[in-house]
Structure 1
Amino acid sequence: MAEPDAAVGDLKKASMDRLTLNYVWKQKSTPVVLRRTGRGEKLRVRLPFADDNRQWLRNGRRTAPEWIGGNQAYWELPKSWFNDFVDRALRRYGKVYIIQPFREQEICARACQEARGHECQCSCMGANHGMGNDGSWFEVSDTFSTRWGERELACRLLTAR
């Protein structure tokens, strides 16, 4: 099956606030998929209402999607359906929101962390200038250190071309 052309739209990295994520999750005009990590975790999907949503999600597979009612009201799908769901949602709706966990990577250098004065030419833009290494940095070389931030949620909107 040929993959549809997709353009990555709005990639929201740095700390998505809860209001934005809640808005994306609760809006009803664009499909949303929440990709979670962890063993046994399933995809959570919200779709604009249509009588054939269950059949469309199932797409002839033996396993049926599970409807979770209540306040949230979403479908649960196996993780392995992720790529197929996104491709088909782009064809059917023209766009799809993807919410998924991410950890931001920070890059700096020992020269910056041990620097004196105010001049900084590092990608941290001076945020770590002269602060030293508190043990959270992985030093690859004298000119490259990295560390990963806390796990957060990111949201991106894919649109069909």
Structure 2
Amino acid sequence: MSNNDQRLRDVWKQREVPVVLRRGGPDEKLRIRLPAGEEKFDWISSGRQHQPERFDDPHYWELGKTRFNDFVEQALDRFGKLYVIQPYREQEKCARACRHAKGHDCNCSCMGAHHGTGDGLGGWFDIGDAFSTRWGDRAVACRLMIRRPGVERTKQ
């Protein structure tokens, strides 16, 4: 198990700060874990047609993906902070001129990682001679969001 995997498990299991897990599949719902002492979820479901689904654990819920922004705002209002665990794909940037370079001088944003390697690694989309991009494998990241004092909630 990687350090990142262990950190994600630790964040999910802790009971002080709410956690929302955004999964990548089109039909997958948000998974919500509330802090200890928060058995009620009526603050997020009030006035909504679709109610959160509760599981055996009284602190674990599922919620439709379209409710992500609402949940984040309301959780930050209620608790002041929130962990968001979500999939992402890192974007690599380079240039065709860099990948096909013959010398050692590299001024590209890849910082020489792909310098002179050619197109053998594949997956590059050349925008022009000076810019290419490709997306890495899917990974999962975690960030702690904290409500800044004096910042008004965005109305949507």
Q: TM-score range by the shorter chain?
A: 0.7 to 0.9
What number of residue pairs does the alignment pair up? 145
Cα pair distance change 1:26/1:116, threshold 3 Å: same
Q: 1:119 aligns with which of 90, 105, 124?
A: 105
Tell me which stretches of 4 or more aligned residues in structure 1 moved more than 6 Å.
Answer: none
Q: Deviations 1:106-147 (Å, cap 9, x if unpaired)?
A: 000011101123221111111001100123111111111100
Which of residues 42, 48, 60 is equivalent to 2:47?
60
**Identical pairs, percent:** 57
How far, CA to CA, are the matches of 1:28 and 1:121 in structure 2?
47
Choose from 107, 120, 132 the match for 2:118.
132
Q: Are positions 1:23 and 2:47 aligned together?
A: no
Residues of 1 paired with 2:66 and 2:95: CA distance?
A: 39
Query: TM-score, length-normalised on structure 2?
Result: 0.85
Q: Hey, what does 1:4 align to over in structure 2?
A: none
- Is 1:156 matched with 2:143? yes
- Which has more strand, going by share of residues? 1
User: Which structure carries more relative contact order (alpha carbon 8 Å, separation 6+)?
Assistant: 1
The one-letter code sitting in structure 2 at the alignment partner of 1:76 is E
Structure 1 vs Structure 2 CA RMSD: 1.8
Structure 1 residue 68 displacement after superposition: 2.1
Within 1, Cα distance between the matches of 2:16 and 2:87? 23
- The aligned counterpart of 2:85 is 99
TM-score, scaled to structure 1 = 0.83
CA contact (8 A) 2:76 2:147 kept: yes
Q: Which amino acid aligns with 2:46?
A: N
Q: Which runs of 5+ in 1 are unaligned?
A: 1-14
Q: What is the DSSP-based 3-state SS (H/G/I as helix, E as strand, rest coil) of the residue aligned with 2:112?
A: coil
